[in-house]
Amino acid sequence: MKLAPCASHAEATHIPTKNTPLQRGLTPHTPSGHSFPLTTHLFFLHSSITTYSKIMKTQVEQKFSDFYTKWMCQLEDLLQLLLMVSRDINSQGSSYETMVNRLTAHYKEYYTFKWAAAREDVLAFYTPVWLSPFEIGYLWVTGWKPSMAFRLVEAASMTDEQVRKIAALRVKIKMEEERVEREMERQQVAVADRKMVELATLERRAKRSGGTTAVTQVNGLVEAAVKGMLGGLEKVMKMADCVRLKTLKELLDILSPMQRVGFLASKSTLQIQMREWGKMREENLICGNNRGIFI
């Protein structure tokens, strides 16, 4: 059951973004660096600036935000169809397979669009503006953690052979998660590499000297270094996505048609509810802040 092409973890395309993500919010401080209490008019000014900074998205962020909103609406529609099929006692195996294929095609569309957008701005997926802080808090390398999927499988309805296969798959996926985490750690530590520190020092000196030629040369070196770092982050993102897709594919291969429908319904429900809980939390925070102004 194909979900998305994952021929190689090393096939990340190293194309740097021209637009770095804007700062997501502003925190008022005094010149000494200490925060200060906001009066009513300052609060509204600060809120307006913060809201404006969040609205100002890069082209990639705006494009993917629009895609994700539409994609989630389609997921909700597909979930309703899944639930209808699962509750219909007259449903046949072909009905289950049709719905499973529609869901897997929907996920394939997501990762195809994501990978294309990441070639332009991979950082957008490490700081996704289309998700709430609540959703971001549960991200694992730009997406859901593969081992989470095993908790959504109904063990009570499985045969002994299925239980054995899923246990073996869980161990294998855990090892692949650890490999992704080691690569992510390697990318993070690389920022403090001796060459990067020397380059940062060289850039500071070039700017102090004011020499146009020197600054241009250093900027070229910095651009090349940043391009390599972004390429590394794109590689890690694709590695993680491949583990996610592999988990889905191999779990679905183990489960029966009816079990696949139940599993995909549980996964879709969780994703939709996480989004709803995130929105609810933000609304409650906004209402709480607005009430606090007049206290």
pLDDT in tens, 100-113: 999 999 999 999 99
Model pTM? Answer: 0.74
Contacts of 184 (CB under 8 A, 6+ apart): 141, 236
Opening angle at CA 74, ends 69 and 76, nearest 5: 100
Q: What is the pLDDT of residue 37?
A: 41
At residue 221 the predicted structure's pLDDT band, cuts being 50, 70 and 90, is confident
Q: What is the pLDDT of residue 86?
A: 84
Average pLDDT estimate for 207-230: 75
Q: How far is residue 271's CA from residue 42's CA, in Å, rounded to a whole number?
A: 37
Which of 50, 51, 191, 65 is closest to 124 using CA atoms? 65
Q: How far is residue 208's CA from residue 119's CA, in Å, rounded to a whole number?
A: 34
Rg (CA), the chain: 23
Q: What is the pLDDT of residue 44?
A: 39
Residue type, 255: L
Average pLDDT estimate for 175-189: 95
Q: How far is residue 253's CA from residue 257's CA, in Å, rounded to a whole number?
A: 9
Average pLDDT estimate for 246-270: 95
Which 3 state secondary structure label does DSSP give 5? Answer: coil
Q: How far is residue 187's CA from residue 194's CA, in Å, rounded to a whole number?
A: 14
- List, for residues 38-69, the tens digit of each pLDDT value: 334 333 333 443 344 445 689 999 999 999 99
Q: How far is residue 206's CA from residue 228's CA, in Å, rounded to a whole number?
A: 22
Q: How far is residue 153's CA from residue 170's CA, in Å, rounded to a whole number?
A: 12
Token pair of 79 as six digits: 């979930």
At residue 169 the predicted structure's pLDDT band, cuts being 50, 70 and 90, is very high
Q: What is the pLDDT of residue 215?
A: 66
CB neighbours (10 Å) of residue 261? 23
Q: What is the pLDDT of residue 211?
A: 66
